[in-house]
């Protein structure tokens, strides 16, 4: 809170805190908060409120402060051991060992793109209420080196940076990103879309995803626990941002990037955010597959729409069971079958926080959903928020649903 106020030019903003949580507490319990003490200062809450509104501004409050906000190109020279310690102390890493970004290593990375080192790639922020920091091709390369990426991966990493979508959101919800790569570059740099594609053991998948996390935290101005990272439980997906390639060769449907306006021969990276809720299953049973899928969908957090991540075996089984010969047909079925009573839907805390205010403002389809009777079944998700990706090595028909928001797809070819 204080960091956001500082970054928005209000370094002396006056705050009063009450205990957490506020969510779910009764009026009587919240009255006790009001009558109680600020957990940060130990002073009575209402005495602080009155003081914040009526205590004259001090000289400190009126003082103009200087914002030292420069970023040097280099770090002061030191031994490798001391530099590793410095990077840890400065919270420039994910706390795993890094490759120190010497000028030579960064130059090798920069040689893998036609773009100039000082070209601005984009701006990024940990949340919409914070200020956006700017970064160049060279700054992206520094983080790519730290992650252990090979230079041939650099166009993918630049495309991720150009998305301006952070993989290190400050949200208390512990969000992580998911990255899907399509097109010829998958072959060129040896990405994995088969056995174990979403796990360890592939250098490109592992280090591209790690680079995305490191560049996000450093280029947006930090991801400091308690200050600019507030995920209450955290999320180990964040170590490599669930980075994998789509199994285009074994998918029965058109690739994800073609669905989003690109050509088959284009190389593209697509980014999803959220990635907390995961549901998992094996295949589709003939008699009750519809009920099984509905159960999975109702188990998702209703604020994070489903992206189905299907092994090719399951993708073909969806065609066998439901005649879904295009992704669009299956997406429509998911939309129509992911339902719950309106009263239950509107009572979810995340729906209260993020959807209900939009419904009150008349935003569709939420406004129409709000008119439904308590027991009326309503679609949980918007059609346009539901997606399908095919990945896996066909060792069996396992599949999962990831609760996440698709953000955008970015050309990798433009960053070669």
Partner 1 sequence: MRKNGVNRNQEAAVGRSEKIVVMNPMGYPPTIKQLGMAPRLDSLDGKTVYLVDVRFDDGDILLQQMENWFTEHKPKVKTVFVRKSGVYTQDDTTLFQEIKEKADAVILGVGH
- Which residues make beta-bridge pairs with 280? 400
Q: Name which of 215 and 313 has its Cβ closer to partner 1.
A: 215
Taking the chain, what is the end-to-end CA distance rounded to the nearest angstrom? 40
Q: What's the closest the beta carbon of residue 385 comes to partner 1, in angstroms?
A: 16
Tell me how far apart the alpha carbons of residues 348 and 350 are, in angstroms, rounded to a whole number. 6
Candidates 265, 300, 319, 270; CA nearest to 381 is 300
CB of 76 to partner 1, least distance (A): 8
Q: Are 282 and 375 within 8 A, CB to CB? A: no
- Cβ neighbours of residue 87 closer than 8 Å, sequence gap 6 or more: 93, 98, 100, 146
Tell the smallest beta-carbon distance from residue 361 to partner 1 (Å).
Answer: 6
Nearer to partner 1 by C-beta: 103 or 374? Answer: 103
CA dihedral 276, 282, 288, 290 (to 10 degrees): 40
- Residue position matching structure tokens 């983080």: 143
Residue 218 beta carbon to partner 1: minimum distance, rounded to whole angstroms: 4
User: Between 135 and 415, whose beta carbon lies closer to partner 1?
Assistant: 135
Whichever of 35 and 291 has its CB closer to partner 1, that residue is 35
Neighbours of 45 (CB within 10 A): 19
What's the min distance (Å) between Cβ of 395 and partner 1?
26
Min separation Cβ 232 and partner 1, Å: 11
Smallest distance, Å, CB 58 to partner 1? 10
Which of residues 219 and 258 has its CB atom nearest to partner 1 in the complex? 219
Q: Which is nearer to partner 1, 92 or 272 (CB)?
A: 92
- Residues 6 or more apart whose CB falls under 8 angstroms from that of 166 comprise 124, 125, 126, 177, 216, 220
Q: Which helix (H) or strand (E) holds 2?
A: helix 2-7
Residue closer to partner 1 by CB (options 97, 320) is 97
Residues 6+ apart with CB under 8 A from 384: none
| Residue number, 173 or 332, with CB nearest to partner 1 | 173
Q: Shortest distance, CB of residue 213 to partner 1, whole angstroms? A: 12
Instruction: Give the residue with the Cβ less far from partner 1, 65 or 111.
Output: 65
Minimum CB separation of residue 158 from partner 1 in Å reads: 14
Helices 137-146 and 203-219: crossing angle, nearest 10°? 130
CA distance 268 to 156: 8
d(CA 169, CA 205): 21
- CB-wise, 149 or 331, nearer to partner 1? 149
CB of 74 to partner 1, least distance (A): 6
**Which of 218/243 has CB closer to partner 1?**
218
C-beta of residue 102 within 8 angstroms of C-beta of residue 121? no
* DSSP per-residue string spanning 313-382: HHHHHHHHHH---SHHHHHHHHHHH-EEEHHHHHHSHHHHHHTHHHHHTT-TTHHHHHTS-TT-EEESS-
**Nearest residue to 324 (alpha-carbon basis) of 290, 365, 281:** 290
User: Minimum Å distance from CB 339 to partner 1?
Assistant: 24
């Amino acid at each position: 809170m204080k960091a956001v106020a500082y970054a928005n030019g209000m370094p002396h903003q006056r705050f009063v805190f009450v205990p957490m949580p506020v969510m779910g507490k009764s009026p009587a319990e919240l009255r006790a908060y009001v009558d109680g003490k600020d957990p940060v200062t130990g002073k009575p809450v209402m005495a602080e409120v009155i003081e914040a509104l009526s205590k004259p501004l001090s000289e400190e409050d009126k003082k103009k402060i200087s914002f030292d906000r420069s970023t040097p190109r280099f770090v002061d020279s030191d031994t490798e051991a001391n530099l590793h310690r410095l990077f840890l102390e400065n919270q420039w890493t994910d706390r795993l060992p890094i490759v120190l970004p010497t000028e030579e290593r960064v130059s090798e990375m920069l040689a893998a793109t036609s773009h100039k080192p000082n070209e601005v790639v984009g701006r990024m922020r940990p949340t919409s209420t914070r200020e956006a920091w700017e970064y160049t091709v060279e700054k992206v390369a520094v983080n790519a080196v730290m992650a252990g990426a090979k230079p041939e991966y650099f166009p993918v990493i630049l495309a991720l940076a150009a998305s301006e979508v952070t993989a290190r959101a400050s949200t208390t919800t512990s969000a992580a990103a998911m990255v899907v790569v399509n097109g010829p570059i998958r072959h060129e740099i040896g990405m994995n879309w088969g056995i174990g594609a979403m796990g360890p053991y592939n250098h490109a998948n592992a280090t591209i995803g790690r680079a995305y996390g490191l560049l996000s935290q450093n280029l947006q101005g930090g991801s400091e626990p308690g200050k600019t990272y507030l995920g209450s439980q955290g999320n180990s997906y964040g170590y490599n941002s669930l980075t994998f390639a789509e199994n285009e060769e074994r998918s029965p449907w058109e690739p994800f990037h073609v669905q989003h306006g690109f050509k088959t021969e284009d190389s593209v990276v697509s980014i999803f955010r959220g990635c907390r809720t995961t549901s998992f299953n094996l295949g589709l049973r003939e008699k009750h597959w519809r009920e099984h899928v509905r159960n999975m969908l109702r188990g998702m957090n209703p604020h994070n729409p489903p992206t189905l991540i299907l092994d090719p075996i399951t993708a073909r089984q969806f065609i066998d069971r439901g005649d879904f010969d295009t992704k669009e047909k299956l997406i429509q079925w998911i939309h129509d079958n992911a339902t719950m009573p309106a009263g239950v839907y509107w009572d979810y805390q995340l729906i209260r926080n993020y959807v209900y205010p939009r419904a009150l403002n008349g935003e569709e389809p939420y406004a129409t959903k709000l008119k439904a009777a308590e027991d009326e079944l309503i679609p949980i998700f918007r059609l346009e928020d539901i997606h399908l990706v095919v990945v896996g090595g066909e060792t069996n028909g396992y599949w999962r649903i990831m609760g996440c928001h698709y953000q955008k797809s970015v050309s990798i070819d433009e960053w070669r």
